[in-house]
Structure 1
Amino acid sequence: MFKTLKEEIKAIKLKDPAARSTIEIFLCYPGFYALIFHRVSHYLWNHGFKLWARINSNWGRFLTGIEIHPGATIGKRVFIDHGMGIVIGETAEVGDDVLIYQGVILGGTTTNKGKRHPTIGKGVIIGAGAKVMGNITVGDYSKIGTGAVVLKDVPPNCTCVGVPGRIVKREGEPIKEVDLEHGNLPDPVSDVIKQLFELHYETDKQIKVLYEQHDLCLVDYVDGIEEELDETTL
């Protein structure tokens, strides 16, 4: 237990530049407290004390603003940054070294029992306000952009952004370092709009050229008619 807490404090220091000391993390980080509450609730849940597990979970939600169902499986060195409004459902599975920002929902899309919440691979980053819904899998070292709504599987080493979530593949080795520059995430919708503007600009240029050629042809045609009229008059 103490080894796990030590690993989680170390992970927070690595992922949060605002963390200045161990005592500050222990006293002031709601995400850290939420995971402690969840470890206890999960233990009670797995040993048949489901009501007590839910009661403990509700106390954790009251104190931290983070709701994690006791049945959810949370890996090691998970960091919940700020955390207010996070909801993690009963059958959700979160891998090791995952970074989750405030407002994230790992929710279900069916009322049937069984696996109905997402599986998050190791090293995944989930941006603020993102919604990952249903029995889907987010592959290892992928990133979910801020405000994305993910309804389909995301392969490993990918970035998913937008509503609904769109995958932008990333080549190369798995992401080993945490990249917090969410403003640099690719935006395929913006790229398409930019392409449409460029196409519109090129189309306008071509139409302008056609108008100019049409005017020249019209001038030549009028000049030809005037010359024929002059010859006829003579």
Structure 2
Amino acid sequence: MFDFFKTLKRDVEVVFERDPAARSVWEVVLCYPGFHAVLGHRIAHFFYRHRLYLLARLISHISRFLTGIEIHPGAKIGKGLFIDHGSGVVIGETTEIGDNVTLYQGVTLGGTGKQKGKRHPTIGDNVVISAGAKVLGSFVVVSGSKIGAGSVVLK
């Protein structure tokens, strides 16, 4: 449980590091849909890991309804994910995201087919994926990468 709160603390800190408009912790906690989506995901992922799939999906669905950001509860997300202007962000089930990653609006981390198993990208640490980028398929985006706005990345 301590790790959960430590991770949430990092999720709040990262907003201040990357968004000069952030004024207070209360503003982030109450008014940042990207933070709300990550918080909702962390709760949903807990239930997903404990095989309570329906509850996990329900929490994920409510989070998507409230934020406009869709994160499958099976996705594995490191500390410090920052989703800025998150409308339309989609993160698929087998996606893995490292620490200190930034996603902008309209980013899709998706699959390219209907096969079972690993079908979504693995994103390294300290990656920035700009607005509207589509990263599709099962491959690794190495740590420190920057993907430009509107890019389509398939390999």
Specify if TM > 0.5. Answer: yes
Q: 1:9 aligns with which of 5, 9, 12?
A: 12
What is the distance in 2 between the residues matched to 1:5 and 1:54?
Answer: 21
Shift, 1:134, TM fit: 0.3
Which of 20, 23, 28 is the equivalent residue of 1:20? Answer: 23
- Secondary structure of the residue aligned to 2:109 is strand
| Amino acid corresponding to residue 154 of structure 2 in structure 1 | L
Unaligned stretches of 5+ residues in structure 1: 153-234
Structure-2 residue corresponding to 1:196: none
- Find out whether 1:59 has 2:52 as its counterpart: no
1:46: which partner in 2?
49
Counterpart of 1:83? 86
* 3-state DSSP of counterpart to 2:135: strand
TM-superposed deviation, 1:113: 0.3
Identity %: 61
Name 1:128's counterpart in structure 2. Answer: 131
CA distance in 2: counterparts of 1:51 and 1:9, whole angstroms: 28
1:175-186 mapped onto 2 (5 Å cutoff)? none
Q: Which residue number in structure 2 is paired with residue 29 of structure 1? A: 32
TM alignment of 1:184-195, pairs within 5 A: none
Amino acid paired to 2:39? I
Partner Cα distance (1:149, 1:24) in 2: 33
Q: Secondary structure at the match of 1:116?
A: coil
* 1:142 counterpart = 2:145: yes
Aligned equivalents of 2:11, 2:37: Cα separation in 1: 12
CA RMSD of aligned residues (A): 0.6
Q: 1:102 aligns with which of 99, 102, 105?
A: 105
Cα distance in 2 for partners of 1:75, 1:131 equals 20
* Aligned residue identity for 1:46: R
Consecutive aligned runs of 4 or more in structure 1 exceeding 6 Å deviation: none
Amino acid aligned to 1:111: K
2:114 to 111, 118, 142: 111
Query: Structure 1, residues 98-154: CA drift from partner, whole Å, max 9, x if none?
Result: 0000100000011010000000000000000000000011000000000000011xx
1:7 Cα deviation from its structure 2 partner: 1.2
Return the structure number with greater helix share. Answer: 1
SS state of the match for residue 88, structure 2? coil
Give the drift of 1:5: 1.6
CA displacement at 1:9 relative to structure 2: 1.1
Describe how 1:159-170 pairs up with structure 2 within 5 A.
none
Q: Distance in 1 between matches of 2:10 and 2:121?
A: 25
SS of aligned partner of 1:4: helix
Q: Which structure ranks higher in relative contact order (CA pairs < 8 Å, sequence separation ≥ 6)?
A: 2
TM-score by length of 1: 0.64
How many residues are aligned here? 152
Distance apart, 1:2 and its partner CA? 2.1
